[in-house]
Amino acid sequence: MTGLEGKLDRLVRTVARYMAYVGGLTLIALTIITCVSIIGRGLATLSYSDFMETSLPAVSDMMKAMKFGPIPGDFEIVEAGIAFAIFSFLPWCQITRGHATVDIITSMFSLRANRVLDVITEILMSFVLVLIAWRLWIGMLDKHRYGETSFILQFPVWWSFLISAIAAVIAAAISLWMIWVRLRELKTGHPVYGGEQGAIH
């Protein structure tokens, strides 16, 4: 690739890579929040258990004073973050052919026929992502209009729709770029991004 195509390619790969980094950091943060919340809930249960209150009352009182418990709204945070993380990984997955594939039938096809299937699946994937991004955006506008908030933390629900919609829009845009990539591969007969292959089943 040269000129404008090369610049677009570098931009797409850079955006996809950093989206994956952000998605990974988001998952790490959600994992930490979940673990801390589970540990806190477990310690709170332990501090009020019959065993602790009868056998180790001083320790039980100390644990109660420390007010162990789950992180308030932990499931709301995870619910909001996990959708964003999923859409953050999709662009890099598209570029590197990271999707699982089933090749029971396609392994019998010619290379050109498989490249035609690549173009078709890329078009279908782009259609789905554009549809999801559009509906998330509409959902975000509705949540913003009605001022809906989460049950425990009371943060505006449209925030989580917004971050997911932004990630979905980026994923859809990169998926549309990948249609061009697959068409180029079909025309030239050579992979644009090397011979990466997803998990084959």
pLDDT of residue 194: 55
pLDDT of residue 163: 94
For 27, other C-beta atoms within 10 Å of its C-beta total 17
In this predicted model, which residue has the larger pLDDT, 125 or 201? 125
Q: Are 163 and 88 in contact (CB under 8 A)?
A: no
- Beta-carbon-side half-sphere exposure of residue 24 (alpha carbons within 13 Å): 8
The Cα 160–Cα 24 span in angstroms is: 17
- Full-model pTM: 0.81
The Cα 155–Cα 77 span in angstroms is: 10
Write out pLDDT tens, residues 155-196. 899 999 999 999 999 999 999 999 999 998 888 877 776 554
The Cα 158–Cα 149 span in angstroms is: 8
The Cα 145–Cα 142 span in angstroms is: 5
DSSP string, 51-100: HHHHH-HHHHHHHHHTT--PPTTHHHHHHHHHHHHHHHHHHHHHHTT-S-
For residue 113, pLDDT over 60 is answered with: yes
Give me Rg for the CA atoms of the chain.
24
Write out pLDDT tens, residues 138-149. 999 999 999 999
Residues above pLDDT 70, as percent of the chain: 92
pLDDT of residue 169: 95
Partners of 101 in the beta sheet? 200
Report phi then psi at 56, rounded to 5.
-130, 65
In this predicted model, which residue has the larger pLDDT, 58 or 131? 131
pLDDT of residue 142: 94
Write out pLDDT tens, residues 72-104. 999 999 998 998 999 999 999 888 878 776 677
The Cα 130–Cα 120 span in angstroms is: 15
From residue 135, give the alpha-carbon distance in Å to each of 52, 87, 130, 142, 168.
51, 14, 9, 10, 10
What sign does the dihedral 79-85-88-92 (CA atoms) show? negative
